[in-house]
Chain A
Amino acid sequence: MNEKKSCPVISKHIKVALVGQPNVGKSMLINSVSNAHLQVGNFSGVTVDKTEVLFDYENHKFTVVDLPGTYAFTDYTIEERVTRDYLCAENYDIIINVVDSTNLAKNLQLTAELLTMSKRVVIALNMSDEAKKEGLEIDAKYMSELLGVSCVKVSAVTKEGIVELITTVIADFESSTYEVKLIFSEAVEEEIAKIVAYLQGHKYEAINSYRNIAINLLKNNKKTYEKLHDDPIWIELQPILIEASKHIELHHDSDDIKESFAEEYASFNRGIVAEVVKQSVQVEQKTLTEKIDNVLIHPIYGIPIFLFFMWTLFQLTFEIGAIPMDYIDAFFGWFGDAIGGTIPNDDVRSLIVDGIIAGVGAVVLFVPNIIILFIGIALLESTGYMSRVAFLLDGFFHKFGLHGQSFIPLVTGFGCSIPAYMSARILKNDRDRLLTLFIIGFMSCGARLPVYVLFAGAFFGPEMAGNILFMIYISGALLGIMAAKILKMTAFKGVDEPFVMEMPKYRLPSAKLIWHTVLTKTMMYLKKAGTFIAGASMLIWFLSNYPHNLVLQEEYAKKIESSTSETQKITLGNKLAESLLEQSYLGVIGKFSEPIFAPLGFDWKMSVALQTGLAAKEVVVSTLGVLYALGSDVDAENNSLVNAISKNIPFPSAVAFIVVIMIYLPCLAASVVFTREAGGVKYFFYLLAFTSLTAYGLAFVAYNVTKMIV
């Protein structure tokens, strides 16, 4: 003890798990509690992130783990699984249960389940400011007495009660007495008492209280069962449990014990709400949310309004996003030159400038688009409008085996597949999400545009090219929807997943929260560009530059030296590049794979372009440029490449090529994100097989049909 006194600053560590139903303002609260996001780290689990925030308060170090919103302790959605697994298996000290003060009865349903766990709970009655506005008065002190659990009124928006919440957590963490008063109906209490008496009689050792163990046993909690099942007392306990369950089910006139318990909780919660909540002002007949909903989810106007919002978002994404693009491009060009000037070794310079900087630059180029798109999506989500979209579109999408909420990732896919895969997280159900992930690639992303522009320009006049582009995009989307239907009938066969979804109250979005979300997502994207894309760029660079052929280089060097005209020199330079590429590893791969692509009418150059395109679609154009001996400085508007293509590639082959570009894997980076979001490498191989076979088959058909027509 004396030791402690001699050291005045004793920092104790408290690990808090933040739990609540969706839409109760948990993330807002965590921001207010930690005052700023001091250290926000993203712990990307398999699919859903839990966020950890660290901060100090007086002599205590806090770690707050923000768990995904969950309605109940089931494993229906990934969020629920993440939260339940964390609460049951991880190490933490105390739970803060965030509840929406304006909707207490519903929120207490989860609270009741939390109270049967061995950890202490502190209830944060959030949105107390909103409750006040609605004329609701909650007696937090009385509620604490009734439940035996500390209840604190807080508002994440006005920051009211935040300090009180922290001090309550500290006080509760340090106090040793804790007795939850969760009272059931007489029939259930009777059975609980019997089981508790039995456990006491046999001095069963456990961390949780006997009462909670009894409740969990009666609720058919798997984990509790597993624990007791291996204990000798199980033989005697089992008949008692069976008897108890029968009694409770009889009492509730139901054959489902979980349903019976839900009803028990609901009636207990109704009792609590009736005691502690006073409604002083009569609420107006129609809330604001209902008024807005009358317009936004109107059976006739709802969908046009939504389409208008989406159109605006995409206009903004591509119009405003295009402005900084030139600057970014120029910056990377300058940066590459500047760095390149300092490196004497040719190979190293080429690796860094042409490989890494160019590759990473191509990805960073899309950051402005991605920021705008993310802001738009964050706005749609945080205002509560996203749920309305799902409501409006579910009827149409369901026909194709998709979910109403699939719409957002699919539309995002027209921009870039990476954020699209990430936004598929809004789909709560695994099967719906997987199906959506599988068809996102059908929505042609921005990176494929240059290829389309190139080919449309090569085979059609400028007045037709626009229409051709539009046709390519539309047919991609239609193919995607059809693919969804086919996948639903084959690979994802089974009962339709139910659609039960909360329509949250409309809320004004918090700028801070949106900024935070967008920032984290953008940083994640940039991190990928810095690590993964840099690696992939290096690999492609290596494959297309090695092995070196000095004989060939010297031979051409002589020829170039002896040539007189500038144009001849350039032609020879390009010839050299072509020959070098032909004998590089990439060229060897192209030659090797040529027979595979022969039925589609592709030569080895096209085959190589497709394979480098696996890294990123932007690479297809530059590869074609190099291969058709024009030097690597080729873009979609370059007329000589357009001419070379229209001269060298037969029209049917070009059609087949476009079909493959439309359907096969978007890019390596997207594939990595896909694998992470889908939750396993095996899904990547499924996607690879599915897209490759579809692309090959449809390209084969397209090639032969076009050949017959032309």
Chain B
Amino acid sequence: MKQLLDCQKGDKVKITKLNATNELKERLISFGLMKGVEVEVLEQAPRKKTIEIKIGKMRIALRAEEAKLIEVQEI
């Protein structure tokens, strides 16, 4: 399974699953990160500790640990 963390800058992918705990999952969903949504990887902090993604018109920063929990597939 491909994780969001594996993606490179500029990749556009679709979320297939959230493997997070309930609390974090709610958090991700409240930001619009949910199944079936398309995201684009915009920027990566040094050593990929943090990544910036874009969904719709919103930009979101995620830590590597969180990005690992999001399964994606290429469009």
- Do A and B interact with each other, yes or no? yes
Q: Which residues of A contact B (CB under 8 A)?
A: 71-72, 74, 76, 102-103, 105-106, 109, 254, 256, 258-259, 262-263, 266, 289-290, 293, 297, 299-300, 302, 387, 390-392, 394-395, 398, 404, 496, 498-504
A76 touches B23 (CB 8 A): yes
Of residues 25 to 48 in B, which have CB atoms within 8 Å of A's CB atoms?
25-37, 42-47
The smallest beta-carbon distance between B16 and chain A, in angstroms, is: 11
Q: State whether A299 and B30 are in contact (beta carbons under 8 Å apart), knowing that A102-B57, A502-B60 are contacts in the complex.
A: no
Some 5 contacts from A to B, beta carbons below 8 A apart, are: A76-B23, A263-B35, A266-B32, A293-B43, A293-B52
Q: Mark B13-26, 1 if CB is under 8 A from A, else 0.
A: 00000101011111
Q: In the docked arrangement, what's the CA distance between A482 and B48, Å? A: 24
**Residue from A106, A256, A391 in contact with B56 in the complex, judged by beta carbons closer than 8 Å:** A106
Q: Which residue of chain B lies nearest to A72 when distances are taken between CB atoms in the complex?
A: B30
A391 touches B50 (CB 8 A): yes
Given contacts A266-B32, A502-B60, 4 further A-B contacts (CB under 8 A): A105-B32, A289-B59, A391-B50, A502-B31
Q: State whether A391 and B45 are in contact (beta carbons under 8 Å apart), knowing that A103-B56, A259-B18, A503-B60 are contacts in the complex.
A: yes
Q: In the docked arrangement, what's the CA distance between A297 and B53, Å? A: 13
Q: Which residue of chain A lies nearest to B63 when distances are taken between CB atoms in the complex?
A: A499
Q: Which residue of chain B lies nearest to A404 when distances are taken between CB atoms in the complex?
A: B50
The smallest beta-carbon distance between B72 and chain A, in angstroms, is: 16
Q: State whether A500 and B36 are in contact (beta carbons under 8 Å apart), knowing that A256-B25, A297-B52, A395-B50 are contacts in the complex.
A: no
Q: Which 7 A-B pairs have the closest CB atoms?
A: A395-B49, A72-B30, A499-B63, A503-B59, A71-B30, A262-B29, A391-B61
Contact of B62 with A by CB under 8 A: yes
The smallest beta-carbon distance between B11 and chain A, in angstroms, is: 16
Q: In the docked arrangement, what's the CA distance between A258 and B35, Å? A: 13
**Residue from A398, A496, A500 in contact with B28 in the complex, judged by beta carbons closer than 8 Å:** A500
Q: In the docked arrangement, what's the CA distance between A105 and B52, Å? A: 20
Q: In the docked arrangement, what's the CA distance between A259 and B28, Å? A: 10
Q: In the docked arrangement, what's the CA distance between A392 and B35, Å? A: 28
A496 touches B58 (CB 8 A): no
Q: In the docked arrangement, what's the CA distance between A398 and B63, Å? A: 10
Q: CB-CB < 8 A to B30: which residues of A?
A: 71-72, 74, 76, 109, 262
**Residue from B29, B32, B46, B59 in contact with A259 in the complex, judged by beta carbons closer than 8 Å:** B29
Q: In the docked arrangement, what's the CA distance between A503 and B57, Å? A: 11
Q: CB-CB < 8 A to B63: which residues of A?
A: 394, 398, 498-500
The smallest beta-carbon distance between A196 and chain B, in angstroms, is: 26
Q: Which residue of chain B lies nearest to A290 when distances are taken between CB atoms in the complex?
A: B42
The smallest beta-carbon distance between B28 and chain A, in angstroms, is: 6
A499 touches B62 (CB 8 A): yes
Most B-side CB within 10 Å, residue of A109, A262, A387: A262
Q: CB-CB < 8 A to A297: which residues of B?
A: 43, 45, 52
Q: CB-CB < 8 A to A76: which residues of B?
A: 23, 26-27, 30
**Residue from B32, B42, B52, B59 in contact with A109 in the complex, judged by beta carbons closer than 8 Å:** B32
Count of residues in B whose CB is under 8 Å from the partner chain? 38
Q: CB-CB < 8 A to B65: which residues of A?
A: 496, 498-499
Q: CB-CB < 8 A to A502: which residues of B?
A: 31, 58-61
Q: CB-CB < 8 A to B49: which residues of A?
A: 394-395, 398
Q: In the docked arrangement, what's the CA distance between A398 and B47, Å? A: 13
A266 touches B34 (CB 8 A): yes
The smallest beta-carbon distance between A67 and chain B, in angstroms, is: 16
Q: CB-CB < 8 A to B66: which residues of A?
A: 498-500
Q: Which residue of chain A lies nearest to B17 when distances are taken between CB atoms in the complex?
A: A254
B50 touches A299 (CB 8 A): no
Q: In the docked arrangement, what's the CA distance between A38 and B57, Å? A: 35
A103 touches B42 (CB 8 A): no
Q: Which residue of chain B lies nearest to A428 when distances are taken between CB atoms in the complex?
A: B27
Q: State whether A106 and B45 are in contact (beta carbons under 8 Å apart), knowing that A76-B23, A76-B26, A395-B50 are contacts in the complex.
A: no
The smallest beta-carbon distance between A25 and chain B, in angstroms, is: 15
The smallest beta-carbon distance between A311 and chain B, in angstroms, is: 20
Q: CB-CB < 8 A to A299: which residues of B?
A: 43-46
Q: State whether A72 and B61 are in contact (beta carbons under 8 Å apart), knowing that A103-B56, A297-B43, A498-B66 are contacts in the complex.
A: no
Q: Which residue of chain B lies nearest to A80 when distances are taken between CB atoms in the complex?
A: B30
Most B-side CB within 10 Å, residue of A74, A293, A500: A500
Q: State whether A501 and B45 are in contact (beta carbons under 8 Å apart), knowing that A72-B26, A105-B56 are contacts in the complex.
A: no
Q: In the docked arrangement, what's the CA distance between A504 and B57, Å? A: 10
Q: CB-CB < 8 A to B20: which residues of A?
A: 498
B60 touches A106 (CB 8 A): no
B52 touches A391 (CB 8 A): yes
Q: In the docked arrangement, what's the CA distance between A257 and B57, Å? A: 26
The smallest beta-carbon distance between B47 and chain A, in angstroms, is: 7
The smallest beta-carbon distance between A427 and chain B, in angstroms, is: 14
Q: CB-CB < 8 A to A391: which residues of B?
A: 45, 50, 52, 61
Q: CB-CB < 8 A to A398: which residues of B?
A: 49, 63
Q: CB-CB < 8 A to A504: which residues of B?
A: 59
The smallest beta-carbon distance between A660 and chain B, in angstroms, is: 36
The smallest beta-carbon distance between A505 and chain B, in angstroms, is: 8
The smallest beta-carbon distance between A111 and chain B, in angstroms, is: 13
A259 touches B25 (CB 8 A): yes
B61 touches A263 (CB 8 A): no
The smallest beta-carbon distance between B55 and chain A, in angstroms, is: 8
A394 touches B34 (CB 8 A): no
Q: CB-CB < 8 A to B26: which residues of A?
A: 72, 74, 76, 258
